[in-house]
Amino acid sequence: MRDRRLLLVVGAGAILTLILFELLYGGDQLRYVLYVFVGLIIVIGGTAAILWAARLERKAKRSDELDHLKSEFVSRVSHELRTPLTTIKALTRLLLRGEVSEEKRREYLETISIECDRQIDLILNLLDLSRIEGGVFRLALEKVEAADVISSCVKSEIAAAERRSHKLQIEPIGDIPSLCADPKHLRRVISNLIENSIKYTPDGGLITLSAGLDGDNVALRVTDNGRGIPKADLPVLFDKFYRGNPAPHSTALAAATSNDAFLDDADVSGVGLGLYLARDVVVRMGGKISVETEVGAGSTFTVHLPIWGPGKCGSVENEVKENGKSIIGS
């Protein structure tokens, strides 16, 4: 847009220059042609120089942004790797001393197991990111039952929910068709949505999973009564490396002046890959992911996936992975 405006200004200037030369040298045709030729060379050369300088400036700015993003990402990943390892190391030393009660010993071992799971999840996300950007990410699409996926995810996340005193429940799932998906990656998508609800919902919240028909798709929903998502975050919610502000739930949090202050107060870990990868995987399975949210009242994330059909499932990824879109509701 800026280049277009510049060209319009230069074009108008060139026309005015031609008119001026006509008024001054119209009687001397040779001199008029000479001056017009030189003037046009100056205009064209000047315009090209200005456009080239503007392009270089944009490239330099984008390069600086990418460098900053890379540095921030490396910092986040380092933090996410270092923090669990520090916890594991400290608890392991306590266990090696043999001076803890059986109750504490069990508690420490459970914490070590949880921190190991955090490490594994981060590494899997980084591997998926690398495969996606390298063009070698593959899905194994097959017939999947929504009830089986939801039940499996709840079992794997129930302990994390209980540590925050959340109630994690499944609404009765009626007789709905099978869906077409990669079961392993779909479980990771749903588990990621549950983990986000656990993190962004104040202690003692309610997280509900449900499934049903939505036109030609099966819809899997994760609903919480947490902080909700500010409207300013919605356009970039699924962007790579983006971590949004938790909605205020206290005077201290509302008074925080920066994104880091919000995140530190809310103790929200992560590097901003969960929702980005979730959307990418769902789109590759021929579906889409949507969110409805209200600050202070909670959020509902919905994964829409096509109904399974004979001969259809194996071709879904290649046919529609570029056509899926995320829908952001208010």
Domain boundary at 37, 62, 87, which? 62
The pLDDT tens digits for 154-174 are 988 888 888 888 999 999 888
Reported as a single tens digit per residue, the pLDDT across 99-121 is 788 888 888 888 888 778 777 77
Q: How confident is the model at residue 139 (pLDDT cuts 50, 70, 90)?
A: confident
C-alpha atoms less than 13 angstroms from C-alpha of 72 in its C-beta half-sphere: 14
Per-residue pLDDT, averaged over 267-278, amounts to: 72
Q: Given CA atoms 72, 78, 79, 81 in this order, what sign does their dihedral have?
A: positive
Lowest-confidence segment of 74-88, 193-207, 242-256 by average pLDDT: 242-256
Considering the domain architecture, whether residues 183 and 310 belong to the same structural domain is answered as yes
* Residue 186: pLDDT over 90: yes
Q: Which of 122, 212, 114, 201 shows the shortest CA–CA distance to 156?
A: 114
Do residue 21 and residue 157 come from a single domain? no
**Do both 152 and 274 map to the same domain?**
yes
* Number of domain units in the chain: 2
Same domain, 193 and 284: yes
Selection from 244, 258, 257, 255 nearest residue 295 by Cα: 244
Nearest to 220 by CA among 291, 146, 148: 146
For residues 25 and 147, membership in a common domain is answered with no
How much is the average pLDDT of 122-138? 78
The four Cα atoms 141, 153, 232, 279 give a dihedral, to 10 degrees, of: -10
Range list of H helices, 135-175: 146-163
- Separation between Cα atoms, residue 36 and residue 21, nearest integer Å: 7
Q: Greater confidence, 250 or 217? A: 217
Which range (39-43, 91-95, 227-231) has the least confidence?
A: 39-43
Position 123 in a domain: no
Question: Would 95 be classed as within a structural domain?
Answer: no
pLDDT at 19 (0 to 100): 58
- Residue 229 is part of which domain span? 142-328
Number of residues written out for the chain: 330
Residue 91 is assigned to a structural domain of this protein: no
Report yes or no on 119 lying in a domain.
no
Q: What is the 3-state secondary structure (H, E, C) of 19-87?
A: HHHHHHHCCCHHHHHHHHHHHHHHHHHHHHHHHHHHHHHHHHHHHHHHHHHHHHHHHHHHHHHHHHHHH
Return the higher-pLDDT residue of 291 and 250: 291
Mean pLDDT of 5-32: 57
Looking at 10, 38, 62, which one is the last position of a domain? 62
Mean pLDDT over 240-259 rounds to: 51
Q: Is the pLDDT of residue 60 over 90?
A: no
Identify whether residues 188 and 280 lie together within a single domain. yes
Do residues 223 and 324 both lie within one domain? yes
Domain boundary among 12, 29, 62: 62
173 with 317, same domain: the answer is yes
**Is 122 contained in some domain?**
no
Please, what is the average pLDDT of the chain? 75
Q: Is residue 39 part of a domain?
A: yes
Distance CA 291, CA 326 (A): 9
CATH number for the domain spanning 313: value is 3.30.565.10
Contact (CB, 8 A) for 229 and 244: yes
Question: Is residue 107 situated within a structural domain?
Answer: no
Residue 157 and residue 53 share a domain = no
pLDDT(305) > 90? yes
Q: Are residues 55 and 153 in the same domain?
A: no
Q: Which residue has the tokens 């003037």?
A: 39
Same domain, 34 and 152: no
Same domain as 163, residue 53 = no
Would you say residue 96 lies in a domain? no
